Amino acid sequence: MSDHTPHPLDQLAERGDAQAPALVLRDRTLDYAALRERVAQLAGWLASRAEKGARVASWAAKGELTCLLPLAAARAGLVHVPINPLLKRAQAAHILADSGSVLLMGNKARIATLEESDLPADCEVFEEGEALLAASVLDSPLPPSANDPDDLAAILYTSGSTGRPKGVMLSHANMWLGAVSVADYLDMRPDDVTLSVLPLSFDYGQNQLLSTWYAGGSVVPLDYLFPRDVAKACQKHAITTLAAVPPLWVQLTELNWSDEAKASLRRLTNSGGALTTDLVRDLRRLFPDARLFPMYGLTEAFRSTYLDPALVDEHPTSMGTAIPFAEILVIADSGEVAAPGEEGELVHCGPLVAQGYWQDPERTAERFKPAPAASHYGGMAVWSGDRARREADGLLYFVGRRDAMIKSSGNRISPQEIESAALATGLVAEAVALGVKDERLGDAIHLVVRAAANAVGAQEELLKALHKELPTFMHPHVIHWRDKLPLNPNGKLDRNAIAEEIGA
């Protein structure tokens, strides 16, 4: 692995060959020479509008502006606040107010939804085309910066299990080393072409840009309407790298892929939720020549683990081992490192750990704590709240969220275990298990599912199958059948919306 030393984030634009494609837009392609020019121009314009350290927000679909801003804002010494384009007015207003953004760049339709009171008092607003034009007209480019890698570079807002979104503070070093790490273990190369389908406000989605540019490859941004749009783009652009979250992978495995659409794929990556054994099998069958990388991450530490593709068939439910620059410890309830096979809390240590939550010392103190004594890195660590175990062979396995555990009849039950059992029947394509308060049981187990395509007699057979596979105390008390399950703005199953719908 090269470049262990973090650099200012904007220097990623300098890595590719000048004539090599860097960003494939709808109407044109920017090579690395053009990418450098546009980043320099946009950085110069941003620096003319805001003082160093100020927050600048974007609220638009994928395009030139949203792809360049992570580097341009960093070069100007500003802090980029990407707002997911799927969020609505009230959510965007909260992010703008909480971050204290002094500049908002977005598309016309989204900006038009904002009311005057939604904007901070000193916040300027530019439509994205207007901002790009202003940058080119001003033509006051900034050269690559010498900013401190520990300076704040971005605030990514992430939804918690309760309360309003909280802003995770990421430094230049966090994002640079994340790009280096992913490019290294994915073995990315200058001839790679990444299809960017995930939101750029999502750390997993933004890293698709950064790791690809670190490797000198090209990125094709795509805001898809239907899963088949992804398959078409893979064929059109000879995509080599495709990243998704489990609900999208489920939809993609239900498509009829042409040989041409699959031919160029070298690697598939998954995060944002665990792959099931059946989904792994489907992906391996559908894309036999692509390497499958199951991964685990959390915005507070970017990415923690990945499973070597060579181990996927034998260990399909494992989280794998730590990625480069990450140290992953499993800490038992006693406070000591857990023994092999013993459940404990997953603790992430090392230079990928974020700087905490923006203007939220209370929640920062809950999640960001001193690293365990056993840590090689020391310093601050992210105590994830996720339960995991490490087996004797060193592989990690996800057990469940501490705060998502269902407590029924005195038993602590992992929702994931019930969901995995439901998916393993082949009768359902998606499943979410939740606890609903019950005077007698504590929590009654509710299972919300979407039937698998071509599943025969699913509603009659699912409960029978679960009774066969699960112990009595884990049997669902109620099964809710849905034609479609809601997704959150990052494309994951929206557990909060599902819980609200069923009264959990």
**SS3 labels along 82-106:** ECCCCCCHHHHHHHHHHHCCCEEEE
Q: Which CATH fold topology does 405-502 show?
A: GMP Synthetase; Chain A, domain 3 (3.30.300)
Predicted local distance difference test score (pLDDT) of residue 1: 58
Predicted local distance difference test score (pLDDT) of residue 417: 81
Predicted local distance difference test score (pLDDT) of residue 365: 96
Classify domain 301-401 by CATH architecture: Roll (2.30)
Predicted local distance difference test score (pLDDT) of residue 162: 39
Please state which CATH number belongs to domain 10-147. Answer: 3.40.50.980
pLDDT band, very low/low/confident/very high, at 107 (cuts 50, 70, 90): very high
Rounded average pLDDT over 362-389: 96
497 vs 487: CA distance, rounded Å: 8
Rounded average pLDDT over 180-204: 96
Predicted local distance difference test score (pLDDT) of residue 402: 65
122 vs 105: CA distance, rounded Å: 14
Amino acid type, 280: V
Predicted local distance difference test score (pLDDT) of residue 2: 55
CB count within 10 Å of CB 204 equals: 23
| Percent of residues, the chain, with pLDDT higher than 70 | 97
The yes-or-no verdict on residue 302 having pLDDT over 70 is yes
Predicted local distance difference test score (pLDDT) of residue 3: 61
Rounded average pLDDT over 164-180: 94
User: Which pLDDT tens digit goes with each residue over 198-241?
Assistant: 999 999 999 999 999 999 999 999 999 899 999 999 999 999 99
185 vs 304: CA distance, rounded Å: 12
pLDDT band, very low/low/confident/very high, at 160 (cuts 50, 70, 90): very low
364 vs 359: CA distance, rounded Å: 9
Lowest mean pLDDT among 80-89, 119-128, 314-323: 80-89
Under DSSP, is residue 59 helix (H, G, I), strand (E, B) or coil?
strand
Predicted local distance difference test score (pLDDT) of residue 403: 67
Amino acid type, 24: V
pLDDT band, very low/low/confident/very high, at 273 (cuts 50, 70, 90): confident
Instruction: Outline which parts of the chain fall under CATH 2.30.38.10.
Output: 301-401
Rounded average pLDDT over 2-6: 74
The yes-or-no verdict on residue 161 having pLDDT over 60 is no
**Among 408-412, 489-493, 497-501, the range of highest mean pLDDT:** 497-501
Residue 117 corresponds to which tokens in the numbers above? 């009171």
Cβ-contact 306, 271 below 8 angstroms: no
Predicted local distance difference test score (pLDDT) of residue 62: 97
Instruction: Outline which parts of the chain fall under CATH 3.30.300.30.
Output: 405-502
Q: For residue 181, report the phi and psi dihedrals to the nearest 5 degrees.
A: -60, -50
Instruction: Outline which parts of the chain fall under CATH 3.40.50.980.
Output: 10-147
Lowest mean pLDDT among 99-103, 164-168, 387-391: 164-168
In total, the chain counts a number of residues equal to: 504
pLDDT band, very low/low/confident/very high, at 91 (cuts 50, 70, 90): confident
The yes-or-no verdict on residue 97 having pLDDT over 60 is yes
494: left (phi over 0), alpha (psi -120 to 50) or beta: beta
Q: For residue 25, report the phi and psi dihedrals to the nearest 5 degrees.
A: -90, 175
Predicted local distance difference test score (pLDDT) of residue 88: 84
89 vs 110: CA distance, rounded Å: 8
Amino acid type, 247: P
Under DSSP, is residue 503 helix (H, G, I), strand (E, B) or coil?
coil
| Percent of residues, the chain, with pLDDT higher than 90 | 81
Residues 6+ apart with CB under 8 A from 123: 96, 101, 102, 103, 104
User: Which pLDDT tens digit goes with each residue over 383-429?
Assistant: 999 999 999 999 999 987 766 778 887 676 878 889 988 999 999 99
**Which residue spans within 132-279 are E strands per DSSP?**
152-158, 166-171, 193-196, 218-221, 241-244, 267-270
Average pLDDT, the chain: 93
List the Cα angle 139/143/147 in 5-degree steps.
130
